[in-house]
Chains A and B, each alone.
Chain A
Amino acid sequence: MIDISLIKHLSRLSKISFDECELADITRQMSDIIQLMDKVKEFDSSEKEYRLCPQKYENLRQDTAAESYDRELILKNSDNVSAGRFSVPKVV
């Protein structure tokens, strides 16, 4: 059951917020979407054990340090730079 309190919980997890007007809309839209997603509940998985990952990838490269990208160039994409570092809002 999708209600406004669940939507508020999901929006906190998603780091997205909705004002009161938007909340009604997103609740209705999410209800429609979840109704479609409920189809998966009809799938009978009791007949056998299904693996959750159909394929394995083991072709990993050696974990060795290599040349990286230019620090100044990378910082150019941020508005939050001071003293050659990313600057974040105060957490503690």
Chain B
Amino acid sequence: MIKKLRKMLDGGTISVNELTEMYLQKINISDLNAYITVCGESALKDAENAQRMINTGIQTPLTGIPISVKDNICTKDIKTTCASKMLSDFVPVYDATAVEKLRRQGAVILGKTNMDEFGMGNSSQTSYFGGVKNPHDKNYTPGGSSGGAAAAVGTDLCVGALGSDTGGSVRQPASFCGVCGLKPTYGAVSRYGLIAFASSLEQIGTIANSAYDCGCIFNQISGRDKYDSTSCDCDDALSLVGTSVKGLRIGIPKEFFGNGSDDEVKEKVISAAYTLRQAGCILSEVSLPSLEYAVSAYYLISSAEAASNLSRFDGIRFGHSSHTDSDYNEQITHTRNDGFGSEVKRRIMLGNYALSHGYYDDYYKKAMQIRTKICEEYNDIFEKCDVILTPTAPTTAHKIGTRDDNLSKTYLSDICTVPVNLAGLPAISVPCGFNKNNMPIGVSFVGKKFDEKTIIALADRYEEESR
């Protein structure tokens, strides 16, 4: 879609202003609650700037392309709320590096998308600003936590979106909304300006209608940034698109196809693997034996990091503040009580439990050992394979309100995505069919570190073969 729009914008078939106005109108009449903030005025200014770039012949691949940004990524002078009462009026004084790069390319920032509060959830229903609806059926969740971004792409309320993926928050909503979602290698995209939840696991990722578009946006936001010491320079993610996939070795870990997955999901994902075999890929069964520990390890590590990261929200320097006549501790407790939602409070409590004296060895330390073991098991698989193929989620989207009380079931549904974050690998989710209720199913391709180009080329080829 970006390629097509590029031609139209460069050829003058449509102006950037017309394109931007069209998207802003669509957002205004949508009832999915995909956006928290719509940047009408600043988007039109972005459009003017982009048009000038095109008119003077200095356009880039994203000049004039309407993009949305998840509301946990800082945007200068535009509210960035993390979908929380705690930050409901917070206006950053700087752009995240990824946003700054988009602006430099002349992209048009349409607005800030809705999400689970602080990225803690997989349904986009824990937002202080109300839940997001799935564009395929409004009774269903869009997944999460980047549910607003995926719903916006799925119903053409933006061409591409920036999301963030801590345990599957780009890939799973992309799968539930029938679009593509790329979680880059840890370090590929600067996290500067991404409001921290679990720093060792999260990455800014891209959501779009095709693998090519995901790669196109990724190319513009990736690379070394002096403000993030974990960031690195990356290869061109589109360099292998269109090349042969013949002989590419795809490993299919048997543990992802157990009893917890829907039969329809397994069937469509295996069918996607057969499609790629017909294109010349070599399939083999592989094993990730420690998958059974992944969800617990992920929740312990991410919650421990969240407990630490979210301790900055004291209502003093920024964010919601509850004024009382009480002492320092009481005022901060009151502020946090009032500002955080239930799921965020549970995660902070779990994190402090895992890190507490007497529990650290049994929980946090064990979880970190499991993390290392999972990394080793991935390395073993990549000795024999180039790419790993799995379902993106064990089920399709669930109906809004049907899982609210079942926390264990909700957490366990992250089983297919969290191991990738524990190991810091890149992965892309691509639509591979629908279930009997017409809800989308996604297949994921997981690559070696910094090998986005192989998984994007494979995903692109799969899209072509399955068309």
Contact = CB atoms under 8 A, between A and B. Distances in A.
Interface of A: 6-7, 10-11, 13-17, 26, 29-30, 32-43, 45, 50-55, 57, 59-61, 69-70, 73-74, 76-80, 86, 88-91
B230 A42 contact: no
A27 B95 CA distance: 40
A6 B14 CA distance: 62
B292 interface: yes
28 contacts: A14-B336, A15-B332, A16-B348, A17-B333, A26-B346, A30-B349, A33-B299, A33-B350, A37-B363, A40-B297, A40-B363, A41-B362, A43-B369, A50-B372, A53-B368, A54-B424, A55-B186, A59-B224, A59-B230, A59-B232, A61-B229, A74-B93, A77-B90, A77-B91, A77-B319, A80-B316, A86-B317, A88-B316
A65 B406 CA distance: 49
A39 B372 contact: no
Nearest to B370: A43
B317 A10 contact: no
**Do most interface residues of chain B lie in helix, strand or loop, or is the interface mixed?**
helix
Given A69-B93, A77-B319, A36 B372 contact: no
A77 B317 contact: yes
B290 A36 contact: no
Interface of B: 89-91, 93-94, 186-187, 224, 226, 229-232, 290, 292-293, 295-297, 299-300, 307, 311, 314-319, 321, 323, 326-329, 331-334, 336-337, 340, 345-346, 348-350, 352-354, 356, 362-363, 365-373, 375, 407-408, 411-412, 423-424
B407 A40 contact: no
Given A10-B353, A36-B295, 4 more contacts: A6-B353, A36-B296, A37-B300, A59-B230
Contacts of A15: 311, 314, 329, 332-333, 336
Max chain B C-beta neighbours (<10 A), residue from A33, A34, A37: A37
Given A39-B296, A50-B369, A79-B321, A57 B349 contact: no
A43 B297 CA distance: 10
Given A33-B350, A40-B296, A59-B229, A52 B407 contact: no
A37 B229 contact: no
A23 to B, nearest CB: 12
Contacts of A73: 93
B332 A91 contact: no
A39 to B, nearest CB: 4
Contacts of A36: 295-296, 299, 407-408, 411-412
Contact of B348 (A14, A32, A37): A14
Contact of A41 (B186, B290, B328, B366): B366
A69 to B, nearest CB: 5
Contacts of A17: 333-334, 337
A89 B326 contact: yes
Given A16-B340, A36-B295, A89-B327, A45 B366 contact: yes
A50 B90 CA distance: 41
Contacts of A39: 292-293, 295-296
A35 B345 contact: no
